[in-house]
């Protein structure tokens, strides 16, 4: 892809991304998925991965994440959070291990639709350009409304994501969701939370970088272990 123009690279990345989102329709408790990062802003590089924000049902955030990790990991499409950023004249070098893979770094429930501060120019620019690619337009609008006072007008249309918005939760995800809606689902959520929190806390000891933005609770899971890139972009 070395000889591709920026526009050609953008189109190629988007087509590959849209071809890999279909597992979401089989995952229970996922209400919507938004394309974020370079997919939304257009600042793509050949090594770029595919950042997403996943909206999930209240009380099932760890269950939804576990299913996402399993589904995308099974196909080798999950980006693991082991990135080494270094500055050079054209931007940042990102590990080839994450190229064209889905980066599951942000899950939110309705209680956390509003992004936690700081509300700097980077997050404002990103949230204005998020692209819906899966889920209910009504629920997606609630997410955007929760941040409207600081983001301003959301500039992205559904043009890029319209293919994804046709993918609605099917019988499989609805069936699993029904089975996990009662006491067994509560038990599973509790145990999946314990397992994931233990692993997250363990990884923080070795993988945390500059001014990490890490949140893990019942309402939100966010993993930005190194925000140096964001700070440099803001100060350019």
pLDDT in tens, 140-157: 999 999 999 998 866 554
pLDDT recorded at residue 93 = 43
Residue 219 to residue 228: CA distance in whole angstroms:
25
Query: What is the residue-averaged pLDDT of the chain?
Result: 82
Compute the half-sphere exposure of residue 198: CA atoms within 13 Å on the CB side of its CA. Answer: 6
Dihedral angle of Cα 46, 123, 145, 63, to the nearest 10 degrees: 60
Tell me if 173 sits within 8 A of 74, measured CB to CB: no
Residue 48 to residue 58: CA distance in whole angstroms:
31
Compute the C-alpha angle 43/5/22, nearest 5°: 60
pLDDT in tens, 173-193: 889 999 999 999 999 999 999
pLDDT > 90: percent of the chain: 48
- E strand segments, 44-166: 50-56, 87-88, 91-92, 102-103, 106-108, 131-135
Q: What is the mean pLDDT of residues 93-122?
A: 84
Residue 149 to residue 15: CA distance in whole angstroms:
32
Tell me if 33 sits within 8 A of 52, measured CB to CB: yes
Give the bridge partners for 214, in sequence order.
223
Residue 167 has pLDDT above 70, yes or no: no
Q: How confident is the model at residue 115 (pLDDT cuts 50, 70, 90)?
A: confident
pLDDT recorded at residue 172 = 83
- Return the exposure string of 121-145: e unless at least 16 CB atoms fall within 10 Å of the residue's CB, then b: ebbeebbbbbbbbbbeeeebeebbe
Tell me if 107 sits within 8 A of 61, measured CB to CB: yes
pLDDT in tens, 185-231: 999 999 999 999 999 888 776 666 666 788 999 999 998 766 666 65
Other C-beta atoms closer than 10 Å to the C-beta of 150 total: 12
Residue 1 has pLDDT above 50, yes or no: no
Q: What is the mean pLDDT of residues 108-112?
A: 97
Residue 15 has pLDDT above 50, yes or no: yes
pLDDT in tens, 40-92: 888 888 888 999 999 999 999 999 999 999 999 999 999 875 544 444 433 44
pLDDT recorded at residue 203 = 79
């Amino acid at each position: 892809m070395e000889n591709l123009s920026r526009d050609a690279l953008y189109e190629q990345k988007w087509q590959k991304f849209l071809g890999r989102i279909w597992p979401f329709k089989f995952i229970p408790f996922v209400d919507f998925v938004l394309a974020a990062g370079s997919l939304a802003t257009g600042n793509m590089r050949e090594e770029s991965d595919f950042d997403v924000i996943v909206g999930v049902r209240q009380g099932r955030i760890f269950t939804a994440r576990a299913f996402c990790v399993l589904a995308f990991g099974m196909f080798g499409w999950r980006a693991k959070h082991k990135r080494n950023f270094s500055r050079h004249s054209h931007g940042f070098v990102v590990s080839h291990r994450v190229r064209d893979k889905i980066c599951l770094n942000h899950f939110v429930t309705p209680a956390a639709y509003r992004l936690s501060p700081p509300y700097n120019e980077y997050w404002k620019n990103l949230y204005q350009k998020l692209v819906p690619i899966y889920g209910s337009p009504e629920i997606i609008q609630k997410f955007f409304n929760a941040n409207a006072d600081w983001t301003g007008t959301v500039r992205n249309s559904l043009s890029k994501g319209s293919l994804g918005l046709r993918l609605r939760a099917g019988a499989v995800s609805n069936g699993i969701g029904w089975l996990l809606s009662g006491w067994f689902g509560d038990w599973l959520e509790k145990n999946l939370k314990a397992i994931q929190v233990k692993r997250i806390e363990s990884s923080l000891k070795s993988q945390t970088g500059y001014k990490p933005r890490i949140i893990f609770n019942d309402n939100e899971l966010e993993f930005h272990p190194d925000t140096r890139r964001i700070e440099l972009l803001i100060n350019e």
